[in-house]
Amino acid sequence: MELRHLRYFRVVAEELHFRRAAARLQMAQPPLSAQIKQLEEELGVELFTRTTRQVELTAAGAVYLERVREILDAVDAAGDQAQRVADGTIGSLSIGCVGSATYSIFPQLIRTLRDELPDVDFHIRGEMLVPAQLAALESGTIDLALLRPPITAPRVIVEPVRRDRLIALVPDTHPVARLHSVDVGALRRDDFIVHAGHGRSMLNGVIMEMCADAGFSPHVRHEVAETSTLVTMVASGLGVAIVPEPTAALGIPGAAYVPLLPETSIELAAAWIASPASALVERAVAVLRRL
């Protein structure tokens, strides 16, 4: 038995007329009659009673029609769902994001994706450091990452999204808090708050290099895992930090943001596993390009 036999049967059962059913199926009547006869022989039951004047479903045929409709509807729905998955309009997408981008581009990205892909289930993981993002990409825990290069993972595609200026983050009582700009050297006597572990945050290496160029090595007093915690600790007067400018979107009272001179910026990029890249990931990356 093939699906075409079920489709032929359904049309004949709906038309109750072999000639009209054949026309609807765009085939000749004799082959259609032969196919229905073959189906009946395979099932071992009569599905139709036929006279010179009319065709009617038997009791067995009526029950069979109900199940055939369920089967064909399920087959059609499965095909439609597979096509939509292939097109990237349904499915599940998990996105990881570094802290500073969590408060800036991330909300706009998710709003746009939800507007354009209302049938997609989004899973969000904010405040992820780059090594954790790369591990999550490799394991399939996330499908797309917003992170800070450089990235050396061989299977990961990296595409620049934008550059973010670095700024000084200080308590609002700090002497430089009301300046229009500040040289990083002005912070040489302050305690620094950084993201946990020099090997775990790409930004830490940039900060150490900036300070070295200014002739000092920063005294790291606190290490934290999340950007929101870092800003809260600075606002509490526990130290200073250097952060990407979008961090200011947190708006935590007690913290002041001062542009650094000379101006320095770091890159934000999208990253995903090279193969196989799903259509849903490609759609999300296309939205990022527009934003």
pLDDT tens-digit series, residues 27-53: 999 999 999 999 999 999 999 998 878
Domain boundaries in the chain?
3-87, 91-160+268-290, 165-265
pLDDT at 198: 45
Determine contact, residues 238/252, Cβ cutoff 8 Å. no
Span 187-214, pLDDT tens digits: 999 999 998 854 567 888 899 999 999 9
165-265 under CATH 3.40.50.620, yes or no: no
The two tokens of residue 167 are: 């700024």
> Could you report how far apart the first and last alpha carbons of the chain are, in Å?
52
Q: Is residue 262 reached through a cis peptide bond, with omega within 30 degrees of 0 on the bond before it? A: yes
Class of domain 91-160+268-290: alpha beta
Contact 264, 206 (CB under 8 A): yes
pTM to 2 decimals? 0.69
30 CB neighbour count, 10 Å cutoff: 10
3-state SS assignment for residue 283: helix
Q: Tell me, yes or no, if the two domains 3-87 and 165-265 fold the same way.
A: no
Q: Does domain 3-87 have CATH number 1.10.10.10?
A: yes
pLDDT for residue 242: 97
Q: Which tokens in the block code for residue 70?
A: 């369920």
User: In which residue ranges of the chain is pLDDT below 50?
Assistant: 198
8 A C-beta contact, residue 269 and residue 146: yes
Which pLDDT score, from 0 to 100, does residue 185 have?
A: 95
